[in-house]
Amino acid sequence: MRKKIVIIGALGYIGTELCKIYSGESWKNSVVAIDSRFVSERVTQLRDWNIEFQQGGLLDKDFLKKILADADIVYHLAGITDVAYVKKDSNTEQDEKIKNIAIEGTRNVLNSIDKKCKLIFPSTHVIYEGLKETKRNIEENEKPCPILAYSSSKAQNEKEIRESKKNYVILRLGSVYGYSTDTMRINIMPNLFSKIASLNGTISLFSGGKQIKSLAPLIDVARCMKFMGENKKINNETFNLTKESVTVKEVAEICKKINPKMSIKTTDDETPNLGYTLSNKKLLKTGFKFLYNLEDSVREMITMWSKRNSNENLEYIKKGEKEFKDKRGKISNYELPEPINLVGYIDSKKGTVRANHFHPIQEQKVLLVRGQFISIYQDLLNKNSSKVTHVVNEGDLIVTKPNVAHAMVFTKDSIFLNLVRGEREHKNYGITHTVKHILVDEKEKKILMENYKIDCRCCGNKNLRRVVSLGYQPLANNLLTKKNSDCELYPLEMNYCENCYNCQLSVVIDPKKMFSNYLYLSSTSKSFSKHFEDAAKKYIKEFKLSNKKSYIIDVGSNDGVALKPFKDKKFNNILGIEPAKNLAKLSNKNKIKTFNGFLEKKNIKKIKKNANLILASNVFAHSDNLKEMAECMLSLLDKKGTIIIEVQYLLNTIKDLTFDNIYHEHYNYWSLTSLMNFFKQFEATLYKAERINTHGGSIRVYIKKGRKNKVENSIKELLKTEEKFGIKNYKTYQEFGKKVQKIKENVRKNIKNLKSNGKKLIGYGSPAKATTALNFFGISEEIDFIVEDNKLKQGKFVPGVKIEIVNKKKVLDKNNNMIVLAWNFYQDIKQNNKELSNNFVSIKDLES
């Protein structure tokens, strides 16, 4: 015969499991699920199972009557579960609500069902909370002694059910534990412990964890309910429903056994009462069999909860979805990863800091309503993780995972909503809720406020996306004179603009800090000198330059390396522009006329105009204000002259994973696509492009004044190549970021292996890219010192990792592993230094 089965509270912890069990029978019986909540995903699932869903509450008598009147079995699982467990947490208002729903609601259920209907009612072991002494194996006939609202109303319910003359089974549940897709239920001890274990955290055992508990596995509880509901021989009975009785310590030890990375902390305070346990003898006599056990359930919870998302998901931004716009305004929707029960409304003044803490178990969800802030976070479970920053704009929801330290630096007056699950004033505050952790101090706040680059340098877009984070890093070329000299660290992170395809760093460091005294001499590199000799020959021919008449400017002229070939060909009319005092001085001494300063508007009058050729090699990424630099170049150019820019090529950086040419001097990362977009704003034409091989892959672009110049085929072709490569697709950049993180893991592992033979590890070369790489990898003491040919660098220290830079004389024997950090010169270095080591390794070769 077709039966009608009703599950009240179907979307709850036990209800969910019971529905699952009934999903197999919903085609031959009528199964109705009731809940006061409506969770669209879950309701859809119930309907797929052919289970009817009705939304409604226990206080709605008509509603209950309509659905329950002809029911054969009713599972009454509804009630408020967010209850106080200790007296001081309870409050009158909440108590009234609990009592009202529990007592009135249960009366309504009793009044709605027919005599032939069987009511399955879960009561609780908590009705014995008033026991003064430790008591084991309490049997069903023991008199209840409730104290708080929750247990008192359960005891009252039991009494009224028994007196109702209806058919019933009451199940007094132990603490129900187990994994559920509905909720983590971390207020239950085994679930809380499993959660902590899944995060490699620490379980605190008060009084040595000697307290005893009766437990029941979630699925068995649901199974037992069905067993009772359908067993015609069992009527008007009360059973204890518990599987095992264990100490708190035993549960902690099971967790530790499953995940040895977690720890247990024990305190020795006195416990007056160890608690009590329930006997399940009567239940077992009915023939019901438990199928699950504590260890398996704990293992399942730990496994499911430790499936930690990759680094990028430690904190992520969600934008509003399913937007609806009309003339009244806009509606945006945010789907939350878990239910919340508390909203905090928080406003914050510009220039202040909040958070600086982490949540061991909770996920944090913040919706920014007004203003803007920089969010800084760091994974505390991975000691090699770096600190990451990003901008949160109006309308962004950010979700921060447990055990991720975070801080907010407000760049505007802001209002945000804190969407919380659980209570702010949790009894475990300081243990499992919120733990202080200073991630951003006053000094760092100042640095972030002063240096953060929020808008796209080219188009002004504020919603930039992250390509890669290389952590907090020192300025790569500012070598330290003393090992422990002060050294400021700044985030080194690349962002991508989906609007104009520009890539830039998340911060802008004052160029004076980086370029006023520069230790890198371009001329010391033979291949560089050769590159510029070839280039000069090519330009003289292509633009028919004459050594008598032509005027040539080199922007960022370093020690004059690009102008020297012209000088050698008797060009007299040449000018270098170089901000580094030491380099300008050196060039002038070598008879290459050089203006010491930045190419910017306030200096433009001091520089002679009408240049036939303006070169800018490896500088067109070295400024925050590239627009001004471009304008200045155009204003110095003769109307028929040409600007030739050489700049590192983003396509190579991404393809070859040369993340180590990301450093603070390089404010910007160019593709031809983004350069074309950039030059559209000027009265100029970018008409030709070539790929060249300096700096591991660069491009050389040619620009003329005016918008009507003929654009050569090379442009069209390279743009096509870039499009095909995915330069306009954020996924390309994301993949790059992931691969770079993988490189870090690999290098750390390989360096460890290299060290395992007991030999010294010595570095060779200290270019800026080595500073980036070593700091990113977190490799410091592993390397004894670094050999360097550039005398200006000898005796100094690589900032951040503090590795000494020395003359090669310091290498006393060949019995070492020589790791070449200037990897682009690997072959030369190996060839020219055979006497230094038996084993040369390129750092690049450690990346896989």
Tokens of 499: 């609007």
Least CB distance to Zn ion at residue 697 (A): 23
Fill in the DSSP letter of residue 275.
B
Tokens of 179: 């994994």
Least CB distance to Zn ion at residue 671 (A): 12
Residue 78's region, left for phi above 0, alpha for psi from -120 to 50, else beta, is beta
Region binding Zn ion by CB under 5 A among candidate stretches 131-139, 246-254, 473-481, 501-509:
501-509
Least CB distance to Zn ion at residue 392 (A): 19
Distance, in Å, from the CA atom of 304 to the CA atom of 178, rounded to the nearest integer, reads 11
Map tokens 């682009």 to a residue: 824
Distance, in Å, from the CA atom of 452 to the CA atom of 444, rounded to the nearest integer, reads 11
| Closer residue to Zn ion in complex, CB, 691/728 | 728
Region binding Zn ion by CB under 5 A among candidate stretches 500-508, 539-547, 618-626, 732-740:
500-508
Least CB distance to Zn ion at residue 677 (A): 8
Least CB distance to Zn ion at residue 733 (A): 13
Distance, in Å, from the CA atom of 811 to the CA atom of 82, rounded to the nearest integer, reads 68
User: How far are the Cα atoms of 91, 298, 349, 542 from residue 96, in angstroms, in the given order?
Assistant: 9, 35, 39, 90
| Closest to 495 (Cα-Cα) out of 509, 484, 507, 483 | 507
Distance, in Å, from the CA atom of 20 to the CA atom of 219, rounded to the nearest integer, reads 10
Side chain identity at 190, as an amino acid letter? P
Q: State the burial class of residue 333 (Cβ atoms within 10 Å of its Cβ: 0-12, 13-18, 19+).
A: exposed
Least CB distance to Zn ion at residue 823 (A): 32
Region binding Zn ion by CB under 5 A among candidate stretches 157-165, 416-424, 452-460, 748-756:
452-460
498 near 462, Cβ under 8 Å? no
Is 500 a binding residue for Zn ion by CB under 5 A? The answer is yes
| Closer residue to Zn ion in complex, CB, 459/719 | 459
Is 774 a binding residue for Zn ion by CB under 5 A? The answer is no
214 three-class SS: strand
| Closer residue to Zn ion in complex, CB, 28/462 | 462
| Closer residue to Zn ion in complex, CB, 241/458 | 458
Contacting Zn ion (CB under 5 A), which of 502, 587, 612, 652? Answer: 502
Region binding Zn ion by CB under 5 A among candidate stretches 198-206, 478-486, 494-502, 758-766:
494-502
Is 171 a binding residue for Zn ion by CB under 5 A? The answer is no
Contacting Zn ion (CB under 5 A), which of 83, 497, 509, 686? Answer: 497
Least CB distance to Zn ion at residue 410 (A): 24
Least CB distance to Zn ion at residue 691 (A): 23
| Closer residue to Zn ion in complex, CB, 228/651 | 651
| Closer residue to Zn ion in complex, CB, 150/667 | 667
**CA neighbours within 13 Å on the CB side: how many for 189?**
24
Dihedral sign, CA of 87, 89, 94, 100? Answer: negative
Distance, in Å, from the CA atom of 398 to the CA atom of 353, rounded to the nearest integer, reads 16
Least CB distance to Zn ion at residue 466 (A): 15
| Closer residue to Zn ion in complex, CB, 37/465 | 465
| Closer residue to Zn ion in complex, CB, 434/502 | 502
173 three-class SS: strand
| Closer residue to Zn ion in complex, CB, 293/499 | 499
What values do phi and psi take at 668, rounded to 5?
-135, 150
Distance, in Å, from the CA atom of 122 to the CA atom of 240, rounded to the nearest integer, reads 10
345 three-class SS: strand
Side chain identity at 761, as an amino acid letter? L
Q: State the burial class of residue 265 (Cβ atoms within 10 Å of its Cβ: 0-12, 13-18, 19+).
A: exposed
Least CB distance to Zn ion at residue 714 (A): 24
Distance, in Å, from the CA atom of 485 to the CA atom of 471, rounded to the nearest integer, reads 20
Least CB distance to Zn ion at residue 461 (A): 4
Q: Give the chain's radius of gyration (CA, Å).
A: 35
Pattern 453-492, binding to Zn ion, x per CB under 5 A? Answer: ---x-xx-x-------------------------------
Least CB distance to Zn ion at residue 463 (A): 10
Region binding Zn ion by CB under 5 A among candidate stretches 113-121, 184-192, 449-457, 695-703:
449-457
Contacting Zn ion (CB under 5 A), which of 100, 499, 732, 790? Answer: 499
183 near 339, Cβ under 8 Å? yes
The secondary structure element, H or E, covering residue 175 is strand 175-177
Pattern 276-315, binding to Zn ion, x per CB under 5 A? Answer: ----------------------------------------
Least CB distance to Zn ion at residue 504 (A): 8
Tell which positions 27-66 bind Zn ion, by CB under 5 A.
none
| Closer residue to Zn ion in complex, CB, 378/502 | 502
| Closer residue to Zn ion in complex, CB, 251/464 | 464
| Closer residue to Zn ion in complex, CB, 465/538 | 465
| Closer residue to Zn ion in complex, CB, 459/657 | 459
Size of the site for Zn ion (CB under 5 A): 8
Least CB distance to Zn ion at residue 503 (A): 9
Region binding Zn ion by CB under 5 A among candidate stretches 172-180, 451-459, 550-558, 612-620:
451-459
| Closer residue to Zn ion in complex, CB, 462/608 | 462
| Closer residue to Zn ion in complex, CB, 540/686 | 686
Pattern 688-707, binding to Zn ion, x per CB under 5 A? Answer: --------------------
Q: Are strands 465-473 and 490-496 parallel, antiparallel or unpaired?
A: antiparallel
The secondary structure element, H or E, covering residue 734 is helix 730-755
Least CB distance to Zn ion at residue 759 (A): 49
Q: State the burial class of residue 587 (Cβ atoms within 10 Å of its Cβ: 0-12, 13-18, 19+).
A: buried
Pattern 241-270, binding to Zn ion, x per CB under 5 A? Answer: ------------------------------
What values do phi and psi take at 229, rounded to 5?
-60, -35
Pattern 127-166, binding to Zn ion, x per CB under 5 A? Answer: ----------------------------------------
Least CB distance to Zn ion at residue 495 (A): 10
User: How far are the Cα atoms of 164, 369, 404, 809, 843 from residue 343, in angstroms, in the given order?
Assistant: 41, 13, 21, 65, 50
611 strand-pairing partners: 637
Region binding Zn ion by CB under 5 A among candidate stretches 88-96, 256-264, 450-458, 835-843:
450-458
What values do phi and psi take at 225, rounded to 5?
-60, -45
Tell which positions 388-427 bind Zn ion, by CB under 5 A.
none
788 strand-pairing partners: none
| Closer residue to Zn ion in complex, CB, 36/499 | 499
Distance, in Å, from the CA atom of 562 to the CA atom of 557, rounded to the nearest integer, reads 7
Region binding Zn ion by CB under 5 A among candidate stretches 134-142, 200-208, 502-510, 787-795:
502-510
| Closer residue to Zn ion in complex, CB, 54/499 | 499
Least CB distance to Zn ion at residue 631 (A): 18
User: How far are the Cα atoms of 91, 616, 824 from residue 691, in angstroms, in the given order?
Assistant: 72, 15, 17
Residues 6+ apart with CB under 8 A from 517: 580, 581, 582
Residues 6+ apart with CB under 8 A from 704: 640, 641, 642, 643, 684, 685, 687
10 Å Cβ neighbour count for 38?
10
Least CB distance to Zn ion at residue 654 (A): 17
| Closer residue to Zn ion in complex, CB, 411/502 | 502
In the complex, the residues that contact Zn ion under the rule CB under 5 A are: 456, 458-459, 461, 497, 499-500, 502
